[in-house]
Amino acid sequence: MQATILRPTCKKKELPEITAPYSPASNGVSEHTNRGFLDLTRCILKHAGMPLAFWAEAMAVSIYVKNQIPHRALENGKLIPFKVLFNCKPAIGHLRVFSCLAYAHVAAETVWKKLDNRARKCDFLGYMETASIWRLYDPTSKRVFTSQAVKFIETSFPNGDSDSTNDGDTPWLVSLSDSTG
């Protein structure tokens, strides 16, 4: 029924292919893409030692990062999706390691006392639309929040086990920038 409704309004080449539900073999390209993102998300969660409840945050980070690097479907791997969309080269200095230790500044408006902490210990969860705002998880209050004033320790993972930390021998965990904040 759907195909008969679409036929009169679409040209022959623009007609979408209708597939049966729960049949991944008939939609190979999107299934392959989804599997790639799920594999990356699984690796991110495993490395960070985060529970599966944070899968959506890890998926968002994996998609965000994938859009910042060259893609083989765009002029044989010479173009970056971000550049195609916004016609400018992406800045990657703000990229951080998922679930690394982060200290978010506590605003003075929250009624500081003389010896209260000026920052709270958090886990980095991702990016907001603006590169200078970060998504963080506070394990004490068990809440996700955003902050602009954050200090990152990208070699420490509060939720990870001992083999999750960067010992200097794993180059894929090295920070992309020397600045930490």
Mean pLDDT check: name the lowest of 35-49, 111-125, 163-177.
163-177
Per-residue pLDDT at 89: 86
Residue with tokens 């605003």: 107
Residue-wise pLDDT tens digits, 53-67: 999 999 999 998 888
178 is a domain residue? no
Pick from 123, 118, 72, 86: which is nearest to 102 by CA?
123
The encoded tokens of residue 133 equal 């705002």
10 is a domain residue? no
Considering the chain, what is the average pLDDT of its residues? 78
Distance of CA 39 to CAs 2, 75, 76, 79, 90, Å? Answer: 33, 25, 23, 23, 24
Average pLDDT of span 10-37: 73
The encoded tokens of residue 89 equal 């080269």
How many domains in the chain?
A: 1
95 is a domain residue? yes
23 is a domain residue? no
Cβ atoms within 10 Å of 24's Cβ, excluding its own: 12
2 is a domain residue? no
Per-residue pLDDT at 169: 41
Residue-wise pLDDT tens digits, 72-85: 878 777 888 888 88
The encoded tokens of residue 54 equal 């944070």
Range of the domain at 48: 28-173
Average pLDDT of span 94-102: 92
3-state secondary structure 113-164: CCCCCCEEEEEEEEECCCCCCEEEEECCCCEEEEECCEEEECCCCCCCCHHH
Share of residues in the chain with pLDDT > 70 (%) = 76
